[in-house]
Structure 1
């Protein structure tokens, strides 16, 4: 009888399996392309999940015109402000212009200069991006803001125009995204700490009469070469990994105005909010970066839900 064959346990797509270095990931902005002359992303915070009664208005849907229940995730989106403007040349930052009248809470995160030099916004450069920070002090979460570099859409002149119009002003999520848009959500998963190979890689439990334990591989490798390869499933870190949830649809966007009170492990939503279809990685209060969809799918794009109520 031939030995049973099975695919290897644990994807090598994600390696090494260790904690991410920073909470907000840096997307490949060159791959994310959009015609809109706005920010390509926005910093938000996960509030929690719920079930929503929606009216299905999707064309050719079997439940069109009916009331259905869909899983949704609620995120709080406090305003953003521009911290600095970065000018790129030959793929590197050539000039960094700091904004004026910055919030004092930034001292908790970065070291601010005593005197700010005034520089012109312009010049012969290839690209312009902005380093933004969230005005999270308006929420119940914390005071220290989160910073992330976000790309701009449109031509070079359109980017300069957007920066000049919004420098020193608060940027709302309703100015960047609209109801019905598809977005990608980037952030860290829930941290699980040190876990064994059964939970970490999904290997099968050995027979109950096995020696040296059931929840471990039968062998860590062959006799030769006399070393353990990195492919052998062993105990280690699980969770706190950077992951992306693709093509979540925004089905509602607006001001909270005491709509969401007493969310478990989160509290009240005080600023703007967005309701996204499906689940999103991370626990409550996790920082997330929602970006323009990298690759839209027809199935997700044509979905049209009208929110009736949350249950």
Structure 2
């Protein structure tokens, strides 16, 4: 599978790792370092994948990140007023399904410069921050508990000497001079995700759009070791793309996998099959013929998902309060989201469904196209957000409402 890291970032981690046996200090351009198998980081993991496409850059606008990582918490439904003049639904209420994606602030720990070549982008060099948290260092090890945990120890010492600082400044200047695309290395704060047992942060490259190349590099360097909240990237009523890996179904047959017609009941040797998989000649099975095999756990991009709400911790937007429903209640339904728990960090409320099961990491990316449709530009006015239990047929919106209905139960 593809990886989040540039080849240089991979080489940096392996060279700094005691398991790789590299003793040389990481300085200068990393483009000449030996390539390493990306399986060193990921194994067979598909979940953390390199984002290949980002929105078109506009130098006239200020610098801004173009993507973010979140964790799917679960679904609920909302009631809103439709703003669609000429339609029968205009000014009427509609009920819609929404997905809650928890998005704790991401931490920027590096910057990568790319140059354009006839064969696409090639990474020029990578500059990392001085201090990396344990959760992101875990990403560079397969067995953290058995390792010596020495990744980036030599690299971070460069910031302590004058010579090392000059080397880092030289790399940044080289980036400003030759690079055509600038991307930051940012990781999630997985320790804030109380519903997840995982301790290893997800790391990805996020493209910086807007301003000149020098502005982009300065923008990235300024945010080293700092948190970037979700509202710095996405706003309410925006159309975004969601990239992730779908629910895995395992090995499945042709009827489930491709929806082919079942054969008659009396069919010899099975009926959930394709009757004829091809002619005598050409003497091979065409790729267009439905066959049994792996279903689900596929990398998918879903475009044009509307943001209904950006929930900020400590703000009214983090609760389920609306202008029409002033009931004090949290966005988490009674009993928590099934198989997830309580949403404690910032979150994004997205219209409709979202790829993957609960707890799975998803990439939220700005739309690649200029949105001009009436649906995309419509302002969303939420009237009601459902917080009843999602485990069964929930009747109550809050625990107080439930207690009031049942009264004091006998021991």
TM normalised by structure 2 equals: 0.67
Of the three residues 46, 53, 70, the one matched with 2:79 is: 53
Number of equivalent positions: 292
Match for residue 202 of structure 2?
A: 146
Q: How far 1:102 sits from its partner (Å)?
A: 1.3
- Structure 2 match to 1:122: 173
Corresponding position of 2:52 = 28
Find 2:349's aligned residue among 269, 275, 281: 275
TM-superposition CA deviations, 1:230-252 (whole Å, max 9, x none) = 33221100000011111111110
Q: Out of 189, 192, 197, which is 2:246 matched to?
A: 189
- The answer to which of 87-96 and 165-174 deviates more is 87-96
Moved more, 171-180 or 200-209: 200-209
Is the alpha carbon distance of 1:159 and 1:89 closer, same or farther for their aligned partners in structure 2, counting shifts above 3 Å?
A: same
Identify which range, 143-152 or 185-194, moves more after superposition. 143-152
Alpha-carbon displacement from aligned partner over 1:189-218 (angstroms, at most 9, x marks no partner)? 100000001111111111222222111011
Q: SS of the counterpart of 1:87?
A: strand
Please list every run of 5 or more consecutive structure 2 residues that lacks an aligned counterpart in the other structure: 1-43, 142-150, 159-164, 313-317, 320-329, 387-411
Following superposition of structure 1 onto structure 2, how do residues 8-87 of structure 1 map, counting pairs within 5 Å? Answer: 22-29=46-53, 32-33=56-57, 35=61, 37-87=63-113
Structure scoring higher RCO (CA < 8 A, sep ≥ 6) equals 1
| Separation in structure 1 between the aligned mates of residue 99 and residue 258 of structure 2, nearest angstrom | 27
Q: 1:306 and 1:108, CA in 2 relative to 1: closer, same or farther beyond 3 A?
A: same
* Closer, same or farther: CA 287–83 of 1 in aligned 2, 3 Å: same
- Bigger Cα Rg: 2
**Matching of residue 290 in structure 1 with residue 341 in structure 2:** no
Question: For residue 130 of structure 2, what is the aligned residue in structure 1?
Answer: 100
Give me the CA root mean square deviation.
2.0
CA distance in 2, matches of 1:156, 1:277: 35
Gaps of 5+ in 1: 1-19
Structure 2 Cα separation of the partners of residues 177 and 42 of structure 1: 9
Q: Distance in 2 between matches of 1:24 and 1:297?
A: 31
Q: Distance in 2 between matches of 1:229 and 1:66?
A: 52
Identify the structure with the greater strand proportion. Answer: 1
Q: CA deviation at 1:278?
A: 1.2
3-state SS in 2 of match to 1:145: coil
Instruction: Judge conservation of contact 1:32–1:292 (CA < 8 Å) in 2.
Output: no
Deviation of 1:149 (Å): 1.0
1: CA distance between counterparts of 2:186 and 2:79? Answer: 35
Select the structure that is richer in helix: 2
Against the structure 1 CA distance between its residues 61 and 29, is the aligned structure 2 distance closer, same or farther, given a 3 Å change threshold?
same
Asked whether the 8 Å contact 1:58–1:305 carries over to 2, the reply is no
Matched, 1:233 2:290: yes
Partners in 1 of 2:300 and 2:75 — Cα distance? 18
